[in-house]
């Protein structure tokens, strides 16, 4: 591993070319990632949380970017849901490695409205809706067979009853205070542009690589 080397040459990030809004730049990079064959899921992001000085990370999917908020959905009783309930500060990382780019979003998470969560829940395939009931996310279970039995039980239940959104399932909106864009450059002299919220406005700073 010590001998692994890659020279980054696919792009640049210069102050003269960036917009005043980080969301405009994010959306441009996101569209590039959607179009890139090297990116499997452009909306995959690493959510990092921290409680009692114990950091934790996992991959979740961005499902909406609206009103300057990054939205994802989960089980509120999962590890990440409980951790965000105790400490709303978190980071999101988009690792668009195939384009030699990454974006880090630092901010705090807040639960979105029940109505918005329901609207998204019922837009999902029915199998995913039932899956949200079947899994007590992050809880221990004895075997895969037990998990499949739980699913079968809820499939039977909702073949006879109206399917509703679980009360423990819904969305979080991450409100950014900082958004950092990283573009790989040759000789490890990468471009790093940091957008920071200051009195309701975004300021930009170049960081050394």
- Domains of the chain, by residue range, sit at 15-116+172-207, 123-164
Residue showing tokens 């978190």: 90
pLDDT tens-place string over residues 81-94: 999 999 999 999 99
Give the residue from 96, 95, 94, 61 showing the smallest Cα distance to 80: 61
d(CA 76, CA 44): 19
Note the pLDDT of residue 3. Answer: 80
Averaged pLDDT for residues 125-142: 90
d(CA 182, CA 37): 20
Note the pLDDT of residue 135. Answer: 86
Please provide the CATH number assigned to the domain covering 15-116+172-207: 2.30.110.10
Question: In the chain, pLDDT over 90 holds for what percent of residues?
Answer: 85
- Output b/e per residue, 32-71; b: 16+ Cβ within 10 A: bbeeeeebeebbbbebbbeeeeeeeeeebebebbeeebbb
Chain mean pLDDT for the chain: 95
Note the pLDDT of residue 107. Answer: 98
Q: Which residues are catalytic?
A: 188
pLDDT tens-place string over residues 35-82: 999 999 999 999 999 999 999 999 999 999 987 999 999 999 999 999
Averaged pLDDT for residues 12-16: 96
Averaged pLDDT for residues 18-30: 97
Phi, psi of 86 (to 5 degrees): -90, -30
d(CA 154, CA 152): 5
Note the pLDDT of residue 73. Answer: 98
Note the pLDDT of residue 4. Answer: 84
Judged against a pLDDT cut of 90, whether residue 6 lies above it is answered with no
Q: Please tell me whether residue 136 adopts helix, strand or coil conformation.
A: coil
Model confidence, pTM = 0.92
Note the pLDDT of residue 154. Answer: 87
Question: In the chain, pLDDT over 70 holds for what percent of residues?
Answer: 100
pLDDT tens-place string over residues 154-172: 889 888 999 999 999 999 9
């Amino acid at each position: 591993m010590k001998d692994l080397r890659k020279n980054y040459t696919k792009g640049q990030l210069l102050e003269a070319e960036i917009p005043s809004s980080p969301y405009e730049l994010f959306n441009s990079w996101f569209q590039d990632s959607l179009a890139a064959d090297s990116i499997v899921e452009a909306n995959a992001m690493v959510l990092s949380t921290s409680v009692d000085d114990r950091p934790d990370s996992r991959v979740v999917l961005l499902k909406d970017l609206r009103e300057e908020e990054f939205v994802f959905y989960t089980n509120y009783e999962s590890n990440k849901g409980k951790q965000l309930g105790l400490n709303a500060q978190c980071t999101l990382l988009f690792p668009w490695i195939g384009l030699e780019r990454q974006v880090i979003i630092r901010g705090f998470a807040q639960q979105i409205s029940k109505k918005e969560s329901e609207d998204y829940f019922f837009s999902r395939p029915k199998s995913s809706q039932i899956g949200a009931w079947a899994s007590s996310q992050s809880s221990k279970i004895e075997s895969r067979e037990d998990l499949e039995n739980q699913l079968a039980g809820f499939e039977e239940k909702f073949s006879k009853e109206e399917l509703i959104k679980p009360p423990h399932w819904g969305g979080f909106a991450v409100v950014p205070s900082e958004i950092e864009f990283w573009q790989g450059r040759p000789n490890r002299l990468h471009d790093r542009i940091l957008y920071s919220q200051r009195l309701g406005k975004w300021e930009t700073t170049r960081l050394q690589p």
